[in-house]
Amino acid sequence: MSEPFSGASASSSRTSSRMVADSEDISRALRRLAHQVVENVKDVSHLVIMGIPTRGVPIAERLAKNIGDIEKISIPVGSLDVTLFRDDLQMRPTKALEQTRLPAEGIDGKTVILVDDVLFSGRTIRAALDAINEYGRPAVVQLAVLVDRGHRELPIRADYVGKNLPTSLSEKVSVQISEIDSVDQVVIQSTIEQL
Amino acid sequence: MKHLISVQELSREDTVGILDTAIELNRVTDGGTKILPTLRGRTVVNLFYEDSTRTRISFERAAKRLSADVVTFSANGSSVSKGESLKDTALTLNAMGADMIVLRHPSPGAAHRLAHAGWLESSVLNAGDGKHEHPTQALGDAFTLRAHLRPGANDFAGLTIGIVGDVLHSRVARSNIFLLGILGAKVIVIGPPTLLPVGIENWPCEVSYSLDAHLPELDAIMMLRVQQERMNGTFFPSELEYSRTFGLNRKRAKELPEHAIVMHPGPMNRGVEITAEVADSGRSVITEQVVNGLIVRMASMYLLIGGDASVA
Amino acid sequence: MSLNSYLIVGARPYGEDEQDIRIINGCIAEIGVGLDPENLEVVQAKGRVCLPSFVDLHAHLREPGREDAETISSGSRAATLGGFSAVFAMANTAPVADTAGVVEQVWRIGRQTGLVDVFPVGAVSIGLHGQALAELGAMAASAAGVTVFSDDGYCVFDPLLMRRALEYVKTFDGVIAQHAQDPRLTQGAQMNEGELSGILGLTGWPAVAEEAIIARDVLLALHVDSRLHICHVSTAGSVAIIRWAKEMGVRVTAEVTPHHLLLTEDLVSGFDPVYKVNPPLRSRADTIALREALLDGTIDIVATDHAPHPHEAKDCEWDNAAFGMLGLETALGVVVSAMRDVPNWNWRTLSDRMSSAPARIGRATNHGRPLAVGESAHIVLIDPDQGSLVVAEQLASLSGNTPYAGMTLPVSVTDVFFNGVHQVKGGVLNA
């Protein structure tokens, strides 16, 4: 499946990659985010972390564990597939649905923190807000992302950002998480036009 | 996947993919009761050349649950009944910008023609073409079987499923036999030889003329509807003789294993192929089949027109 | 310089050694090596196979009634481009060719067109209804001189009517050409009955529906000692019955179409009605049996069953489409394609099956004659090495329902002489 926002075709271009965060950087960022959440959310007993598949889910689990370690409680984690709520479905190839799993406690009256790997146009988060709305009525919804690469198309911002990463539109940000990719790293791929 | 015409075009991966999509849709819509914005702005046309209120309503609901615009042309009261050809109707619908055409037609292969004759660009979903196929019915039945007998599994290996009755005239039976074969189940087709197609011995199923001989080995039994027009004495002597030989009654149902489920694609002839007692019993999943049909239709619609098929 | 006189140089009669052929006033005047052209126009034919022009005992020219699909004129053009000099035009026109008036009209329009001899086939029964005999004697005695009678499209199902027809045509040495199809066993039938019809859900057309009628009719023909011809034989079982009947001394002849020699039922699986034909395309085993039967003479002839249909009759769903496919312009190439790998098949056998035998059955005495001095110059030249691509839009037929579109057939007709008129040159008709 191709990255829908990437640039020119492979025949006339080549790509180069550079790593901008390694495993240690990611762990440090997630520890920092956990502290920020604990500081910001006064009562973590009503906290629910919802990861957006695919890589938002393991990130959500790590974040929840970090928070739980600090507060010595278990934080409920769920997953929220937003595919069915996207407004740009018709611009991409059909995608298999990922799992949506609400925690047993539900989300009504809770403080829900949505977690995604990369914040880009904001359309995923808009869809996530619609999806959340379909499944319940949280008291508060916040957003945590590992990377914010800019280029927002909607008035959406993250409450917790692991790393701000200024990028060009022709670049592709790839967050790799060991649960899925067997390595923790953030890579920027640039496509170089061959003249 | 642009069209869904025949289960025979599906691989096992395709099939499991549709069933998995249906599971997610079932979960996020609470059994098809919630409305999703997924197909907002897309137009689904139900083009029905045969009267089938049940199927038409199921497809309409599936499209509406996904927020598509739904237009229904049925054989009564439109150009379809005024002798306009399928091609001309197709050209009209194409001009209207239909993203998907759900076609029910009495002629086998009509959906295939609509999809491949070069008349239009829309996706085509076969909602029953003569005696050929009815893929979403079979997918719904596979969804039901999976939920009851193989939750979460990616095949039906080890399952034995009986399909009983008029296979000759049944698109539901064709789609089910081939789809269950794709999923690796053992299928036993049971009926009088007059209602079995020539060459069925080469299909992925066993053939038997005796229902009683197979009841104890069936994990599920699908009873096919006996059409009124077949009861004229040329396919079998009488309704009574048919139900004595091939009808599912309480006595026969007792011979089934405890876990076995009873299925019927509907509408039923109570007292002919199935008694009311069995149809309404605890092991009957007939009403679930209706709901699951809706869910797999939603899944099929999402997979066919949810994304841009031209982007690879 | 005389009219319709040529010297064909270097052609290979029946695919054998090169000869020159002198045509004077529409007749073959001399055959030999190194003939002096004198003042004749020379037709260079080096390497070309030279055969007597073909005779088609079974074509639908659609006129009168369906001139949107074909006319006698357009059908004649298609026929000559296919290498034919004579075409028997089937009776299922509108009005039906069941009276002297209709057959004479068809015959006259054929004469006026003048590209091939058009021999009308008379209907066996009034209106093809299978109830009462048409005026067979009047059609035989008409200017058209009808010798072949057929209800083609419908089977003469009533055994008593069939018996009477066979008896009646003995008075003028006629022949009944039977469309062998039991109508009860083929109610609503759409394709060959077998595993594929079951899978596709298309109503099956069992082989027995053809074979049962052939079995009955050869027994009737034996009983009344009359001439029976079986149209478009399509099954191995039919071949076996006809073989048996010939051994028993029944005066039965049989035809096979080019498409039943080459095409098989698996083409139906795409539901494209261009492959919908009556009788239906059959199995691979059937085509092999038909090829063997054509070689050994059990099946006497190839007949095209050329069946033009307007575009809309095929541009629809299968059930609603018309039966039939074009045949005249592609017959030779399809026969060569189907038969070239059959051992012992040669140009002489092809010539017998496509020219002399059909002329003999139809009593077309001026056609299907050997390439010999004194005979009318109905001659076709064939390039055996030059394939021809079939393009539906480029056919002379008014219709385009050919199943061979896009195929390259292995040989091509380059020149056709009709009564010595050099009317097809280099594969092009002199209009």
For the cut 60, the answer to whether the pLDDT of residue A1 exceeds it is no
Which of A149-153, B51-55, B61-65 is predicted least confidently?
A: B51-55
Q: Kindly indicate the confidence band of residue A7, based on its pLDDT and cuts at 50, 70 and 90.
A: very low
Residue A90's pLDDT band, with cuts at 50, 70 and 90, is: confident
pLDDT band at A12 (very low <50, low <70, confident <90, very high): low
Question: Residue A9: its pLDDT value, please?
Answer: 46
pLDDT tens digits for range A173-195: 999 999 999 999 999 998 776 55
The pLDDT of residue A91: 80
pLDDT at A95: 82
Cα distances (angstroms) measured from residue C244 to each of A113, A167, B106, C247, C290: 87, 86, 42, 5, 15
Whose CA is closest to A69, among A105, A33, A102? A33
Tokens, residue B3: 């069209």
Report how far residue B125's alpha carbon sits from residue B111's, in angstroms, rounded to the nearest whole number.
7
Measure CB to CB from residue B37 to each of A90, A94, A130 and give the nearest one: A130
Whether residue B93 has pLDDT greater than 70: yes
**Type of residue at A141:** V
pLDDT at B229: 73
| CATH number for the domain that contains residue C236 | 3.20.20.140
User: Which of C361, C384, C406 is the endpoint of a domain?
Assistant: C361
The answer to whether residue C367 sits within a structural domain is: no
In a domain, A69, yes or no: yes
In a domain, B311, yes or no: no
Positive/negative CA dihedral, B223, B229, B234, B238 = positive
CB-side neighbour CA atoms (13 Å) of A176: 17
Confidence of residue A3 (pLDDT cuts 50, 70, 90): very low
pLDDT for residue B83: 65
The one-letter amino acid code at A75 reads I
Starting at the edge strand found earlier in the chain, the sheet holding B160-164 runs B206-208, B186-190, B160-164, B220-223, B261-263
Q: Which residue of C has its CA nearest to B198?
A: C194
pLDDT per residue over C94-119, tens digit each? Answer: 999 999 999 999 999 999 999 999 99
Determine the pLDDT at residue B308. Answer: 74
- Residue C223: the pLDDT is 98
What phi and psi, each to the nearest 5 degrees, are found at residue A69?
A: -60, -40
> In terms of residues, how long is chain C?
431
pLDDT at C304: 98
Q: What is the widest separation between alpha-carbon atoms in chain A?
A: 58
Q: Helices in chain B by DSSP H: which ranges?
A: 12-28, 53-65, 86-95, 110-116, 135-149, 171-182, 239-246, 250-255, 276-279, 286-305
Minimal C-alpha gap between B291 and chain A (Å): 20
Judging contact as 3 or more Cβ pairs under 8 Å, the answer for A and C is no
Which of A85, A87, A90 should we substitute to test contact with B (largest number of B Cβ atoms within 10 Å)? A90
Query: C221, C214 in Cβ contact below 8 A?
Result: no
Q: Within a domain: residue C416?
A: yes
DSSP state of B35: -
**Tokens of residue C44, six digits:** 């260079």
Quick one: B145 and B177 in the same domain?
A: yes
Over the stretch C374-411, which tens digit does the pLDDT of each residue have?
Answer: 999 999 999 999 999 999 999 999 999 999 999 999 99
Residue B259: Cβ within 10 Å count: 10
> Which residues of B lie inside 8 Å of C (Cβ-Cβ)?
8, 85-87, 105-110, 112-113, 116-117, 129-133, 168, 171, 174, 197-200, 202-203
Given a contact cutoff of 8 angstroms between Cβ atoms, the answer to whether C323 and B96 are in contact is no
Tell whether B152 is within 8 A of chain A (Cβ).
no
> What's the mean per-residue pLDDT of chain C?
97
C118 and C19 share one domain: no
Matching residue, tokens 């609400």:
A102
Q: Are residues C112 and C170 in the same domain?
A: yes
**d(C-alpha B89, C-alpha C353), whole Å:** 46
Task: Name which of B71-75, B246-250, C245-249 the model is least confident about.
Answer: B71-75
Point out the least confidently predicted range of B98-102, B307-311, C337-341: B307-311
**Cβ–Cβ below 8 Å for C201 and B131:** yes
Per-residue pLDDT at A2 exceeds 60:
no
User: Does residue C174 fall inside a structural domain?
Assistant: yes
Query: Taking CB atoms and an 8 Å limit, are A97 and B34 in contact across chains?
Result: no
Please judge whether A93 and B303 are an interchain contact, meaning their C-beta atoms are less than 8 angstroms apart.
Answer: no
> For residue B310, what pLDDT is reported?
56
Residues B120-159 have pLDDT tens digits of 999 999 999 999 999 999 999 999 999 999 999 999 999 9
**Co-location of B186 and B56 in the same domain:** no
- For C178-233, write each residue's pLDDT tens digit: 999 999 999 999 999 999 999 999 999 999 999 999 999 999 999 999 999 999 99
Where residue A8 falls among pLDDT bands split at 50, 70, 90? very low
Q: Are residues B12 and B85 in the same domain?
A: yes
Residues B60, B185 share a domain: no
Q: State both tokens at C361.
A: 């059955």
DSSP H or E segment with residue C409:
strand C408-409
Structural domain range at position A45: 22-169
Same domain, C285 and C221: yes
Residues 6+ apart with CB under 8 A from C407: C389, C390
* Residue C369 included in any domain: no
**Does C305 qualify as catalytic in the annotation?**
yes
CB C117 within 8 A of CB C56: no
Residue A120 lies in a domain: yes
Do B209 and B194 lie in one domain? The reply is: yes
Contact partners of A by the rule of 3+ C-beta pairs under 8 A?
Answer: B
Task: Tell me the shortest Cα–Cα distance from B199 to chain C, in angstroms.
Answer: 4
C87 lies in the same domain as C33: no
Answer yes or no: is A4 within a domain.
Answer: no
Same domain for B140 and B153, yes or no, is yes
Residue B169: give the domain boundaries.
135-287
The count of domains in chain C is 2
| Same domain (yes/no): C27, C137 | no
B195 and B108 in a common domain: no
The H or E element that residue A115 is part of is: strand A111-119
Q: Give the span between the Cα atoms of C329 and C311, in whole angstroms.
A: 18
Give the integer Cα–Cα distance in Å for C89 and C117: 10
Q: Which residues of C touch B200 (CB under 8 A)?
A: 195, 198
d(CA B253, CA C124): 59
Check residue A10 and give its pLDDT: 45
In a domain, C311, yes or no: yes
Q: How far is B296 from chain C (nearest CA, A)?
A: 23
- How far, in Å, CA of C233 to CA of C368, rounded? 22
| Closest of A124, A114, A121 to residue A51, by C-alpha | A114
* Pair B298, B241 in one domain: no
One domain, residues C29 and C80: no
Are residues C381 and C348 located together in one domain of the fold? no
Q: Are residues C63 and C45 in the same domain?
A: no
pLDDT at C123 over 80: yes
* φ, ψ for residue B72, nearest 5 deg: -115, 125
- Asked if residue C31 and residue C154 are part of one domain, the reply reads no
Q: What is the CATH number of the domain that holds B188?
A: 3.40.50.1370
Residue A112 lies in a domain: yes
* C216 found inside a domain: yes
* A174 in any annotated domain: no
DSSP state of C125: B
Picking from A2, A84, A99 by the largest number of B CB atoms within 10 A of its own CB, the best residue to mutate is A84
Instruction: Tell me the helices (H) and strands (E) count for chain B, helix number first.
Output: 10, 9
* Closest C-alpha to C381, from C417, C353, C354: C417
The pLDDT of residue A194 is 58
* Catalytic residue (choose from C305, C352, C383, C415): C305
Examine the pLDDT at B247 and tell me if it is beyond 70.
yes
* Residue A111 within any structural domain of the chain: yes
Q: pLDDT (tens digit, 9 = 90+) per residue, C34-89? A: 999 989 999 999 999 999 999 999 999 999 999 999 999 999 999 999 999 999 99
**Containing domain of residue C394, as a range?**
6-49+374-429
Tell me: do C75 and C201 sit in the same domain: yes
Q: Clarify whether residues C137 and C195 are in a common domain.
A: yes
**Strand (E) or helix (H) holding C29:** strand C27-32
Closest chain C C-alpha to B202 CA, distance in angstroms: 7
Distance from C-alpha of C327 to C-alpha of C61, rounded to nearest angstrom: 11
- Proportion of chain B in helix, strand, coil states, percent, rounded to 5: 40, 15, 40
Task: Sort out which chain B residues have CB atoms less than 8 A from A85's CB and list them.
Answer: 36-38
Pair C258, C406 in one domain: no
Looking at the fold, whether B83 and B100 belong to one and the same domain comes out as yes
Neighbours of chain C (3+ CB pairs under 8 A): B
One-letter amino acid at C68 equals D
Q: Does residue B2 sit within a domain?
A: no
Q: Does the beta carbon of C197 lie under 8 angstroms from any beta carbon of chain B? A: yes
pLDDT exceeds 80 at position B35: yes
Collect all residues of chain A within an 8 Å Cβ-Cβ radius of residue B311.
2, 4, 91-93
* B1 belongs to a structural domain: no
As a whole number of angstroms, the distance between CA A18 and CA B112 comes to 49
Q: How many domains does chain A have?
A: 1
In this predicted structure, what is the pLDDT of residue B80? 61
**Residue A50 belongs to domain with CATH number:** 3.40.50.2020
Same domain, B227 and B108: no
Nearest to C201 among B85, B86, B171 (CB): B171
Q: Report the C-alpha gap between C390 and C401 in whole angstroms.
A: 11
- What does the alpha-carbon distance between residue B275 and residue B214 come to, in Å, rounded to a whole number? 19
Domain count, chain B: 2
Q: What is the pLDDT of residues C1-47, one digit of tens each?
A: 567 899 999 999 999 999 999 999 999 999 999 999 989 999 999 99
The answer as to whether B33 is a domain residue is yes
B309 vs A95: CB contact, 8 Å cut-off?
no
- pLDDT at A195 (0 to 100): 54
Kind of pairing, strands A185-193 and A171-176? antiparallel
Residue C92 identity: N
Q: Does the pLDDT of residue B228 top 80, yes or no? A: no
Output the pLDDT for position B77.
Answer: 55
Check residue A5 and give its pLDDT.
Answer: 38
Other Cβ atoms closer than 10 A to C135: 17
Average pLDDT over residues A15-31: 94
